[in-house]
């Protein structure tokens, strides 16, 4: 397939305007070359919007009908048609979408003959919605974007030279396909193409400011943008998308990204437990942050419809895409599980356009964060707010006048029993890990599994380890990465002799809990940390600060010690010295095991089911 017709000039984002000379120099180096500016334009989307895959049916690279059928059935894009063409350009076979409205309709978008891209099931749908919301003429999927390694890419020939095998979708009013020459040709000038990685992440290295919420490039164009690339936005809610029938209530779940943390652990466990009762789709609204881990593969086992909008599209275009997704999924429930501030911008419009849509939010703190976004208009749009702890509910009921029925308190859950090491293997696993780390049988290991973030106050743990260095059997382990990782590592190095180490991000937290003797968090604020609940499940006492419901749970269960004020190193030191005593730990551990059933996945999932359905 000849792709040399594609636009050749690269435009990416930066925070400052550059003059033309600096702009051209930046392009030559593959650096950001302008500030993306978005403007809205009037738009009438062809009805219906259809994506047609034009595939080779014979000759080199031919795609068999059976293979194309299996691939199409895995995709979440209902407006998808595949057509196989012979070398002479004649049609060999056709796969129509399940919706009869689309039969025989000319494609709004098409792909010239080629192979089928290896993408997750919802990626093609995400690309189509992105293209519908941005005034682009083509979307180019790059299979190996990391191969660029920061090299300058000024035209599509460089893509060929890097052997990245681009796979492109074209607007039918901007391009035509010549079957005789297997060439896609433009119908007009001033074309604009958007580059997207096939993994669903905007990870093309020659774009910087990866986490700038206003950047969703890069783009290729056949016109010189100058210092500012002006990309028009349209409203994807104008798409006519209809949901397939399913008896289960449909839930659209919003998240910033699917990292590895306590919030994602509870979300995954409850969705998995409820997957037979509800039909889930997911949307991420913020660029994915690799430093925080990635749980998308886990969630794909529950739903194939995971659309990573945060990595692909400008935030101003997201609300229209969400409306199109509500229609396409038939969602009756919108659940902002661990969202972004964008949700509070979207909620009033979504509720106004769909009064019967049940909108559910989730708050994690009563003093700071998203509770500050509860302004008039937002409060009326949210039907229920899941409170992570009782202080949140008290603020909304007492200070905001919400009825208690709108603020259910649902504590997070621990892990499913089958996700924990089996009882018969725990002693062996504990011994093996402790041996790996060089711990003796009588050593007392304090484990903190947390992001290296100011909220978690990891530097307090470094200072604490230094204070108790006279307790030769006491050791500290920090498991986690994040913004403060380098600073924490520097502090550990500076406190030479303090028995503390940072392991980085880990996927085996239950195993580490078994190898430790005490769980520990010294956070500035919390809802109710899942890590603590996992410690209780595995019979480990806990040391924490009185934030959220952490202190209340330890008071109620007697499963650990609480320090009233975050940052009180004297009180934390006294607690560590108390927990160094084996008899003290043994009594607390027994209470921890007794408390664990309160935080089972079944209890948590059942509570969410009642909230989703509006039941008391």
pLDDT in tens, 464-489: 999 999 999 999 999 998 889 999 99
The whole-angstrom distance between residue 448's C-alpha and the CA centroid of its chain comes to 24
How much is the pLDDT for 314?
81
The whole-angstrom distance between residue 608's C-alpha and the CA centroid of its chain comes to 20
Domains 247-413 and 417-599 share a fold: yes
Tell me what the pLDDT averaged over the chain comes to: 83
Taking alpha carbons only, the member of 228, 155, 253, 232 closest to residue 195 is 155
Integer Cα distance of 182 and 526 in angstroms: 59
**Residue ranges covered by each domain of the chain:** 9-236, 247-413, 417-599
Find the helix packing angle between 582-595 and 530-537, rounded to 10°.
Answer: 100
How much is the pLDDT for 510?
93
CATH no., domain 417-599: 3.40.50.2000
CATH no., domain 247-413: 3.40.50.2000
- Region at 504 (left for phi over 0; alpha for psi -120 to 50; beta for the rest): left
Integer Cα distance of 94 and 63 in angstroms: 12
Helix (H, G, I), strand (E, B) or coil at 264: helix
How much is the pLDDT for 294?
83
Helix (H, G, I), strand (E, B) or coil at 30: coil
The contacts of residue 530 (CB under 8 Å, 6+ apart) are: 261, 262, 263, 265, 266, 412, 413, 414
CA dihedral over 541, 547, 551, 552, signed as positive or negative: negative
Tokens of 486: 């380098």
Three-point CA angle 389, 392, 394, nearest 5° = 110
How much is the pLDDT for 45?
67
Integer Cα distance of 528 and 576 in angstroms: 21
- The per-residue pLDDT for range 255-268, each reduced to its tens digit, is 988 887 778 889 99
Return the DSSP state at 194. E
- The per-residue pLDDT for range 357-415, each reduced to its tens digit, is 999 999 988 777 788 888 888 889 999 999 988 889 999 999 889 999 999 999 989 88
Tokens of 493: 């190095």
* Residues of the chain predicted below pLDDT 50: 1, 4, 11-20, 23-24, 26-28, 30-34, 145-163, 201-215
Task: Tell whether omega for the bond before 319 is within 30 degrees of 0, i.e. cis.
Answer: no
Burial of 426 (0-12, 13-18, 19+ CB in 10 A): middle
How much is the pLDDT for 372?
83
């Amino acid at each position: 397939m000849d792709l040399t017709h594609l636009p050749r000039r690269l435009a990416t984002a930066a925070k400052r305007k550059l003059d033309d000379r600096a702009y051209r120099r930046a392009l030559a180096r593959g650096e950001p070359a302008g500030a993306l500016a978005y403007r809205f334009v009037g738009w009438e989307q062809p009805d219906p919007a259809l994506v047609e895959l034009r595939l080779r049916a014979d000759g080199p690279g031919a795609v068999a009908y059976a293979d194309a059928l299996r691939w199409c059935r895995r995709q979440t894009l209902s407006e998808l048609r595949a057509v196989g063409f012979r070398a002479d350009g004649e049609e060999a076979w056709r796969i129509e979408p399940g919706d009869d409205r689309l039969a025989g309709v000319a494609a709004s978008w098409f792909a010239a003959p080629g192979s089928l891209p290896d993408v997750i099931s919802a990626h093609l749908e995400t690309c189509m919605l992105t293209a519908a919301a941005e005034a682009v003429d083509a979307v180019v999927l790059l299979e190996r974007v990391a191969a660029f390694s920061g090299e300058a890419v000024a035209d599509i020939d460089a893509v060929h030279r890097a052997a990245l095998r681009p796979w492109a979708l074209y607007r039918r009013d901007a391009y035509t396909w010549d079957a005789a020459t297997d060439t896609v040709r433009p119908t007009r000038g001033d074309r604009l193409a958007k580059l997207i990685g096939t993994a669903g992440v905007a990870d093309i290295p020659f774009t910087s400011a990866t986490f700038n919420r206003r950047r969703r490039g890069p783009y290729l164009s056949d016109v010189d943008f100058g210092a500012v690339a002006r990309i028009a936005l349209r409203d994807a809610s104008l798409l006519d998308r209809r949901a397939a029938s399913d008896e289960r209530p449909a839930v659209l779940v919003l998240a910033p990204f699917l990292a590895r943390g306590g919030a994602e652990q509870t979300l995954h466990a409850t969705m998995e437990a409820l997957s037979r009762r509800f039909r889930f789709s997911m949307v991420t609204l913020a660029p994915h942050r690799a430093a925080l881990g990635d749980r998308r593969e886990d969630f794909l086992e529950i739903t194939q419809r995971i659309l990573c909008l945060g990595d692909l599209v400008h935030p101003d275009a997201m609300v229209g895409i969400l409306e199109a997704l509500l229609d396409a999924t038939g969602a009756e429930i919108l659940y902002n599980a661990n969202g972004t501030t964008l949700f509070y911008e979207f909620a009033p419009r979504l509720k106004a356009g769909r009064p019967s849509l049940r909108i559910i939010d989730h708050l994690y703190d009563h003093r700071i964060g998203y509770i500050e976004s509860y302004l008039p208009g937002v409060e009326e749009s949210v039907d229920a707010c899941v409170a992570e702890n009782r202080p949140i509910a008290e603020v909304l009921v007492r200070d905001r006048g919400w009825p208690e029925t709108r603020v259910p308190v649902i504590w997070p859950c621990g892990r499913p029993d089958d996700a924990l090491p089996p009882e018969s293997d725990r002693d062996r696993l504990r011994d093996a890990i402790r041996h790996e780390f060089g711990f003796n049988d009588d050593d007392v290991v304090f484990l903190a599994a947390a992001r290296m973030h100011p909220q978690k106050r990891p530097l307090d743990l470094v200072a604490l380890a230094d204070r108790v260095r006279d307790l030769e059997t006491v050791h500290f382990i920090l498991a986690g990465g994040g913004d403060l990782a380098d600073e924490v590592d520097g502090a550990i190095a500076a406190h030479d002799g303090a028995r503390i180490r940072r392991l980085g991000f880990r996927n085996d937290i239950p195993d580490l809990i078994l190898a430790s003797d005490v769980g520990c968090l010294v956070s500035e604020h919390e809802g109710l940390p899942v890590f603590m609940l996992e410690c209780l499940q595995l019979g480990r006492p806990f040391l924490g600060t009185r934030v959220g419901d952490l202190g209340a749970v330890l008071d109620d269960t007697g499963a650990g010690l609480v320090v009233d004020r975050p940052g009180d190193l004297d009180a934390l030191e006294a607690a560590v010295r108390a927990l160094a005593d084996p008899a003290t730990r043994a009594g607390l551990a027994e209470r921890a095991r007794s408390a664990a059933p309160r935080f089972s996945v079944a209890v948590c999932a059942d509570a969410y089911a009642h909230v989703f359905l509006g039941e008391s």
